[in-house]
Structure 1
Amino acid sequence: MKSNKNIGCTVNECKYHAKNESFCSLDHINVVKHMDKAKTPEATDCGSFEVEK
């Protein structure tokens, strides 16, 4: 799996985690929010996350 050095990631449970490095393997990610107005980092997430099976 090729890592994308422009997208850092430490979520080992994601199927797109580069496994041998702390990077994502996707070309791009989709960032989503949980509230009408995101005012803190906790109000956002990576919408591209998929659990490793």
Structure 2
Amino acid sequence: MFKEIQYLIGNRFALHLKHKLNIIMESKFSVSGKITFRIFTEHEMNFIQFCNTVVESLF
């Protein structure tokens, strides 16, 4: 999935995005109430959904 995101938005930005999402995910487990996210594919497009439910990351 990460390779698909790299292809869609470019390698440099994809690595930046992965780093930011990892920080958000780590924050969720250390401090309650932080933003969580879910990455999913629909119609061959990748989406990131921010929510306050379970974290699902395919990286």
TM-score (norm 1): 0.24
Higher relative contact order (CA 8 A, sep 6+): 1
